[in-house]
Structure 1
């Protein structure tokens, strides 16, 4: 990139010539304004910093300059140290530690450029964040433009500024910089554009992220920056999260139309979109298409297909893919097992669900609460055996290990089934734990105990609970009114 780019940013009335990307190096063909006479303080400070030993240079500077340096003096000193960025960094830390300079936007800009030209991106980003605390992004941007050529900076300094805005959730500031650059046909890096599109999609909505994608990549311009597979993946994910699965397909077609090759993650997102709509035949076509095109299945792809099949009651097929996963040496994740537990519970195969659950526990996976509740519900509803006590033990063990906080629905289901089987002491223990978690007994809980005590022949307790339930309901109605 030539220095004419800086001219174009500062003087937008001039018609720009197309530039390809910000990664091209700036040239310093435009003469800089004459420098003011060199301040003896600056040359002396530079000499001390460069020629004294590290232990003595800082004490010497403090004794010679007890009042410190002005921001402009600091900038001049660091400019003369720009080929030694680590010494520049130590000098900056020194001035901050001993309050020897009240830094302003311009002194920060000099530092940012010096770190950027030396590829010290993290240090440059740290100073950008300091500058953004001092002034708004427009002022910081203008200061960086003004000092760019003099510092011999690197073009991605503007990408660092955009990314800092994105990190601080200043979407409008980031958009302003991108648009100023794009209006002069200067392209930020693709990774920067992707980060901004992702943030807009998350903070606002997927449609605005897509609109920004059309703008940033200038799809209607001849001189355009091409999106990459990451661009399309993040947009597909954004639309999927918002339930707009049709747009996932549209973006997939657009990606293919632009000659961008999808990766394994792209296929997984598209399969997930089909699975969410119950279009398993379409998802399976994508699965087969991956193999035909030589795309290697990864754990995300396997989990996507297993989860989709389990959600749509095709657990036998899911188990086949699970077995294939093991044969290929791909390690299962917690999500793999959770899909299978939920799938087996959906089709009423509690025995298989328990086998998978125990395998999960054996491998040390922490089980999600919804999966435990699905297993408990399956066990309580199992018509082929008395499993409610075992279900209660699973809940007790999960709570003990602090990995699970049962819902009211889970507690009430256990209490109801235990009462139906006449296991009143166990039901009372569950009810006590339920109250301890902040759940007041509901009418359903009372009714379960009333019926349970009636079943075991304790009519007196059943009658007392019926009276207590009526009083509790009346009191609650008075509180609500």
Structure 2
């Protein structure tokens, strides 16, 4: 935020649309307190030992302090912000002050000017909870009113915006940004990015994009604050998540700063998701030409794209290249390879990668386990039992109905009826009722092993079960 704020006369607070802002960067000099209680309290806080000061204060003034008295005391402690915070917590713990926005604001300014950002944000969140309606507007006005008296720092408003985002006060955060901007005051770039990111997540990428253009005055000839690479990255990611690849490319073209490795990775992922591997390859080569080093994210992006598009041999070459450069593979690297091998029907290589992954202590995502299970079950080597063992190995892995039904079907086809029954019992225990496909698998399975009686009984049970289900649904 700019530190050169034009001098304006602070007017009496008006409705939000007409808030007048005066931020004079002066160092306030406190005159000696005229109130004996304030003078005594400041003396006790600054000169007594920590063990005795609190008990002494309670004895001095058992009825507590008014909000204005607290503010005066805190102002005299502004060069010792930690002591100011302890005094605030002391008054709250023993209900010695009925705090209002004025007292909260004084403490917020003192914490902000001393760069105690996390503590300042905690107090801002308390202040926001103090009001039931128009809470952000009221806290904003209170901070403006007390700004000069406390000799505050401009980024106190950045802390307000970020605290609003923490409290899901999106509209309030946008309002503060607009009020400041209308007076020629800009938020810090990190705050702008946080605001755009949160709005994009909660309101959609298009809403975030419009705000991005507003925040950085992109429709004006001259803008004081420019978006940085993180701004462009978060906008590209936002549109990518919504599947709007054209907007990802548009943001890329609008980028006025040098893209970093993550920028390239987002664009490559966009092309990979559309199966445009030649375009992704061009971006990969551009990184090399521009001297942008490949990091693990870039490698994983290309490896995942190649595996998804059945180019597993090229993906394996990139894995080898990672090793030669000393870049450690992540669990995602291995999962891409497992998925790739299973897609091309090479489940044996997928199992080798899976075992290597487990040996190195990586946990496998549920979707990858299911892909491996499907590959084993559909193998010509009748490997359903092996697939069951893979499922049992999965830490906190919860198979889907589809996974259970596939295991049961393949076990029944292989005549492993007892194992199939165990899987079916586990499936029911997880809340999945037997479907028509499950019954048919058991009926065919028992028929295959020569148990025609059980097969016939299950056929009758299936008919009755489906009839009852239809009645329940009607």
Band of TM-score, shorter chain: over 0.9
Q: CA deviation at 1:57?
A: 2.3
Aligned partners of 1:109 and 1:147 also within 8 Å: yes
Q: Equivalent residue for 1:28?
A: 26
* 1:99 is aligned to 2:92: no
CA distance in 1, matches of 2:216, 2:177: 11
Unaligned ranges ≥5, structure 1? 13-21
Query: Is the CA contact (8 Å cut-off) linking 2:13 and 2:141 kept in structure 1?
Result: no
* 1:454 and 1:462 in contact (8 A); partners too: yes
Match of 2:187 in 1: 188
Separation in 2, partners of 1:67, 1:346: 75
Number of matched residues?
Answer: 462
**Contact in 2 for aligned 1:411/1:431 (Cα 8 Å):** yes
Task: State the 1:320 CA deviation.
Answer: 0.7
**1:79-137: CA deviation from partner (whole Å, max 9, x where unpaired):** 11111212212221221122111111001111111111111111111111111111211
Matched residues in 2 for 1:447 and 1:293: separation? 60
Moved over 4 A (4+): 8-12, 34-37
SS at match of 2:149: helix
In structure 1, the partner of 2:432 is 439
Which residue of structure 1 lines up, in the alignment, with residue 17 of structure 2? Answer: none
Contact 2:5-2:185 at 8 Å conserved across structures = no
Q: CA deviation at 1:334?
A: 1.0
Tell me the equivalent position of 1:332.
Answer: 329
Aligned pairs for 1:36-75 within 5 A: 38-75=34-71
Corresponding residue for 1:455?
448
Q: Does 1:363 align with 2:360?
A: yes
Q: Distance in 1 between matches of 2:108 and 2:367?
A: 49
Question: Which shifted more, 173-182 or 374-383?
Answer: 374-383
Instruction: Summarize deviations over 1:5-57 as a string: whole Å, max 9, x none.
Output: 56479799xxxxxxxxx9xx94239x99x989822221222122222233332
Aligned position for 2:18 = none
How far apart are the structure 1 equivalents of 2:11 and 2:285?
A: 50
What corresponds to 2:82 in structure 1? Answer: 86
CA–CA separation in structure 2 for the residues paired with 1:202 and 1:439: 33
Structure 2 portions without partners, runs of 5+:
15-21
Aligned partner (choices 470, 473, 480) of residue 466 of structure 2 = 473
- Root mean square deviation of aligned Cα: 2.2
CA contact (8 A) 2:63 2:96 kept: yes
Contact kept? 2:165, 2:173, Cα under 8 Å: yes
Deviations 1:190-239 (A, max 9, x none): 00000000000000100010000000001133143101000000000000
Task: Map 1:217-228 to 2 at 5 A.
Answer: 217-221=216-220, 222-228=222-228
Q: Are residues 75 and 477 of structure 1, via their aligned partners in 2, closer, same or farther at CA, if it must alter by over 3 Å?
A: same
Distance change in 2, residues 1:10/1:329 (3 Å)? farther
Which residue of structure 2 lines up, in the alignment, with residue 216 of structure 1? 215
* Cα separation, 2, equivalents of 1:325 and 1:36: 67
Give matches, 1:415-426, under 5 Å.
415-426=408-419
Report the counterpart of residue 17 of structure 1 in structure 2. Answer: none
Q: Which residue is equivalent to 2:252?
A: 252
Larger RCO (CA within 8 A; separation ≥ 6):
1
- Is the counterpart of residue 201 in structure 1 residue 197 in structure 2? no
TM-score w.r.t. the length of structure 2 is 0.93
Q: Which moved more, 1:279-288 or 1:386-395?
A: 386-395
Contact 1:26 1:154 survives alignment (8 Å): no
Please name the residue that 1:302 is paired with. 299
CA contact (8 A) 1:116 1:124 kept: yes
Does structure 2 conserve the Cα–Cα contact (< 8 Å) formed by 1:9 and 1:184?
no
Equivalent residues in 2 for 1:339-378 (5 A)?
339-378=336-375
